Chain A
């Protein structure tokens, strides 16, 4: 069955440090790939997406992600974290056949130390 794995439930980084959030998926073909951010009490905000083409995608708020087909991964990165980046981050895939149904990972909660 299709699945998305975010192996890190919690991550703590210092402000100004770099960040990498991991995401791996299991699917027979290349799905569409997304990263969303959810601040406390808020809905989901799209950070970036990958459909095809250049495997390094740029998103909002200085985030980027790299699709690696050989590793079935779509890791999210930011070179310098800001305190306002503290939130929960969800990786999601959308299957490219039939229903455009999102399959979400369980999320990574990011804490930023001042």
Chain B
């Protein structure tokens, strides 16, 4: 596609439920990132995928968070047993291999009630 696509754009879930957020990177981009943006705060790095290398998971805040990537395409971020503090906008970005410039999706706004 023309840009990074994320779905859903909005998600409201009950506390304790699991959620899956999806990211479709720009075609040909081998690097993919997930970030979290809490209300009124900056972006926190969550996880980074680069080709077939082991992902950099250093930003995942707890073991309730996990992410997968199918080859060099779609990625899903899963949050298990959601908590209210998980409410945030989750942003995905992708870039070409070896290139620092990343392109961001519109984000998924997650609200845990």
Binding site for B on A (CB under 8 A): 32, 34, 36, 42-44, 46, 49, 51, 90, 92, 94, 96, 99-107
Q: Is B107 an interface residue (CB 8 A)?
A: yes
Task: Provide the bound-state CA to CA distance between A107 and B50, in Å.
Answer: 27
Binding site for A on B (CB under 8 A): 31, 33, 35, 41-43, 45, 48, 50, 56, 91, 93, 95, 99-107
Q: Which residue of B lies closest to A4 (CB)?
A: B42
Which B residues are CB-close (under 8 A) to A92? 43
In the bound complex, do residue B45 and residue A43 qualify as a contact, i.e. CB atoms below 8 Å apart?
no
Q: 28 A-B residue contacts at CB 8 Å?
A: A36-B104, A43-B91, A43-B105, A46-B101, A49-B100, A49-B101, A51-B100, A90-B43, A94-B100, A96-B100, A99-B48, A99-B56, A100-B31, A100-B48, A100-B99, A100-B100, A101-B45, A101-B48, A102-B33, A102-B35, A102-B43, A102-B45, A103-B45, A104-B35, A104-B42, A105-B42, A106-B42, A107-B42
Q: Is the interface of B mostly helix, strand, loop or mixed?
A: strand
A22: shortest Cβ distance to chain B, in Å?
A: 15
Q: Which residue of B lies closest to A93 (CB)?
A: B100
Which B residues are CB-close (under 8 A) to A104? 35, 42-43
Task: Provide the bound-state CA to CA distance between A34 and B100, in Å.
Answer: 10
Candidate in B100, B101, B106 with the most chain A CB atoms within 10 angstroms:
B100
Known: A43-B91, A44-B104, A104-B43. 15 other contacts (CB 8 A): A36-B104, A43-B104, A51-B100, A90-B42, A94-B100, A99-B56, A100-B99, A101-B33, A101-B45, A102-B43, A102-B45, A102-B93, A103-B45, A105-B42, A107-B41
Task: Provide the bound-state CA to CA distance between A101 and B47, in Å.
Answer: 9
